Amino acid sequence: MKTYIPRLADDLLQMALRAAGAVLIEGPKWSGKTRTAQQTAKSVLMLQDPDKQKSYLQTAAIKPTLLLEGKTPRLLDEWQMAPVLWDAVRFVVDQRDRTGQFILTGSAVPVNHVTAHTGTGRISRLRMRPMSLFESGDSSGTVSLRTLFDGDTEIEAISSISIEHLAFLLIRGGWPASIGADDAIAQKRANDYVDSVINLDVSRVDDIEKDPGKMRALMRSLARNVATEATMQTLMLDMETEDESISMPTVSQYIQALKKIFVIEDMPAWNPSIRSKTPLRTSPKRHFTDPSIATAVMGLSAKRLLQDFNTFGYLFESLCIRDLRIYADVLDGAVYHYRDKTGLESDAVLVLRDGSWAAIEVKMGAHEFDAAAETLKKFVNRVDTRKMNEPSFLMILSATEFAYRRKDGVYVVPIGCLKP
């Protein structure tokens, strides 16, 4: 078995187990949920075991608490195959009145998941995504978001990621199995992932058959519109260019299926207190959970990306959002985007639970930095800091080599230097 690569989620899992009776780890398949859980679990129930699956499901139907017997924390892998386990876990946690009893992992929201209890107060949730560049060892981690929030004003670092290697990292994605793989193998695995999603996973998640041609066309449209606020109407019209007619209800149903298996993760809009009466846009930005899904569904190679820097730029933004989301979880925060009716926007706003926040623009090249810095400063001037905190910092997240603080106070940080 491949050596386990430590994850940022490891510490989050330990903390969650100390706080709750059970922890639910959710996320896309192949993101490493089971391997991470196995590092902590003292006993394991694999519901997908073909030799025991029938017996497990029969037991779950008759007396589900029998499946919960074992050393704790007990891992219930792909628990959604027997949704009754949710209420069984909640019941046993109440009976034992101890933390750290169970870890549940799942790569899909169960079909018709109706339970007697939401799990609030008993079951903590942990979102797991593919690996960030810091976890995969591609980012040096010499610039820390935490220290910037703590008031560190000086940074100095160098990224070793060339633009050619960055193109490869987009194609490879953050899938644990692909870390260390060569270009061809990494691209094949991303292609296989997309094929599995289209031909199997989206239909299994809700027991509603999906047309593979329409689903592929929708995912290609999402890929072409990644990091934008494309509406479902836009996606539907875009699909018609591929001779795939589809109704709005079907687009909605297909998107919900992709969300249920954690393939797409839209980024919500931030709604701060602002000085003017300028209306804010509330549409989410479209993102896949990993940019390699977009490159695979569009059939892009690293070489082709280097020939199309417009597409490269959107996908680079999506990679940065993936990493920022992973780092935000460690910092107990969340990532949003901002845009108002005048067109003023911020690619990412990192907001912590204590109210601290930072505005971030994603730009690949240095020729865009001056304009990005001006945009960030205009955005801050629009936020009513009498009602909210001043931003902890302003950042341009880049594909360049050097990390430094500009004379205007805006940080330039290559994605290849960043960590939580």
pLDDT, one tens digit per residue, over 366-402 is 999 999 999 999 999 998 888 888 999 999 999 999 9
Nearest to 363 by CA among 302, 309, 287: 309
d(CA 298, CA 129): 21
Q: Is the bond preceding 73 in cis, omega lying within 30 degrees of 0? A: yes
Residue 118: the pLDDT is 55
CATH of 9-127, one of 3.90.230.10, 2.40.70.10, 3.30.413.10, 3.40.50.300: 3.40.50.300
- In the chain, CATH 3.40.50.300 covers 9-127
pLDDT over 90, % of the chain: 84
Residue 244: the pLDDT is 72
Residue 33 gets the label, from left (phi > 0), alpha (psi -120 to 50) or beta, of alpha
Residue 388: the pLDDT is 87
Residue ranges of the chain with pLDDT lower than 70?
A: 110-121, 243
d(CA 80, CA 107): 8
Phi and psi at 229, nearest 5°, equal: -95, 35
